[in-house]
Structure formats: C-alpha cells, structure tokens
A and B are shown apart, each in its own frame.
Chain A
Amino acid sequence: AQSVAQPEDQVNVAEGNPLTVKCTYSVSGNPYLFWYVQYPNRGLQFLLKYITGDNLVKGSYGFEAEFNKSQTSFHLKKPSALVSDSALYFCAVRDGTGGFKTIFGAGTRLFVKA
C-alpha cells in the first residue's frame, strides 16, 4: 500500500530565504510523485511532478523538487521565498504498478514572513 509522510505541520521562512518542505513516501512499484498547493478559499492546484528521468524537477511559480530514491524522499524547494507562497502544500504519490489512486500527505503549512 502506498503512503506519504510530511513530517512538518508548519514551515516558517523569511521572504527572500530558501525554503524546503519535506516529503517521504512508500510505494510497492515505481513512484509517481506530485506536489499540490492549496491557497485559502481556493481548490487544490498542481505544482509539479516526478515520473522518471532527472531527479530535480521544476514546476510552477519557481518551485522545484528533488527526488531521492535511496531516501524515498521528494522534498519541495524554492531558492527565494515570497510572501505570496504562504499556503498549504501537499505531497502525493501514485503507485506505478497499476491503478490510478493518488494518496496525499497530511499537508504542510508554509508561512513566509515579510
């Protein structure tokens, strides 16, 4: 069975500083990994995904994520945080062995202080 863990309920960072939001996963087969963001009073939006290939994937709004197979991690990163990045971030995984169920982590609230 697939699962996702986001060990931090909240991440606080100053504007202009780099940010990292952590995610670890467990799947039976090859993982398909995703990050989604939820802004207040808005639906979940796709940020980026890893399927195969380069371990560093780039997505929307300057975000990127690094896939590490040995550590089963997929951490979300951004070189310079903006106040407008403050939101709820969800890591998600889909098991590549079949089926299309996507499992989400509990979420990490990112707070960027001006």
Chain B
Amino acid sequence: DTGVSQDPRHKITKRGQNVTFRCDPISEHNRLYWYRQTLGQGPEFLTYFQNEAQLEKSRLLSDRFSAERPKGSFSTLEIQRTEQGDSAMYLCASSRGSGPGEKLFFGSGTQLSVL
C-alpha cells in the first residue's frame, strides 16, 4: 500500500492561466474523489469517479473545472482561466468500492496559489 499520491505538491500560477493536477490512487481502489479545502474550512466535495465513470459533480463546480480518469487509474483535475478565488488545497482520495461504509484514503494535496 503506497498511499494516494498527488502531484505537484505546490503550484503557483498567474490569474487566467490553466493548471492541471494529477492524482494516483491506491492501486486496487476503484473510487476516486476530488475535494477542495480552504483555510479554516472542511474539505468541500468536487467530484467522484467509479472506475473511469464520473458519477457525481458538485453544482458548485464551475465549467472552468474538469476532471478525468481515462483508464480508471490515475485522475487529472484541470482548472481553466484560474481566478484568485481558486486558491486552495486540492485533495484527492480513493476507496475500495466495497460499500457506503468504506473509509477514504487521502493524499497530501496540491496547494494552489493564484496571483
């Protein structure tokens, strides 16, 4: 069990630029989640995948955000035309897919700063 891996750990970008983050889940996990966390707040749900299918997407997520999991393994989260309000920690989590009582395994996150 090598854990959930996220890359990069930190990203600084200028407003209006596009950014992409990568998440590698634990190898046998078929569910993958993206969350966003700002200082003083809990993780906010963005979207989740079961294998390669994106099953739910938060209504808070604007159309500038897109996520993919093309082969049911790693996932990418892209933010187009970044805004200063996008500055946050972006967390990835994975789970086995064994049922609603399963726990999430989190990565260390990608800290995005939009200047």
A: which residues have CB within 8 A of B? 4, 6, 32, 34, 36, 42-46, 49, 51, 90, 94, 96, 99-107
Within 8 A of A (CB), among B78-115: 91, 93, 95, 100-109
Residues in B neighbouring A101, C-beta threshold 8 A: 45, 48, 56
Q: How far is the CB of A45 from chain B (nearest CB, A)?
A: 7
A-B pairs with the 3 shortest C-beta distances? A104-B42, A51-B101, A44-B106
Q: Which size bracket describes the interface of B in this complex?
A: 20 to 34
Residue of B nearest to A103 (CB): B45
Partner of B41, one of A49, A102, A106: A106
- Highest count of chain B CB atoms <10 Å: which of A6, A103, A104: A104
With A94-B100, A96-B100, A102-B33 in contact, is A42–B108 under 8 Å at CB? yes
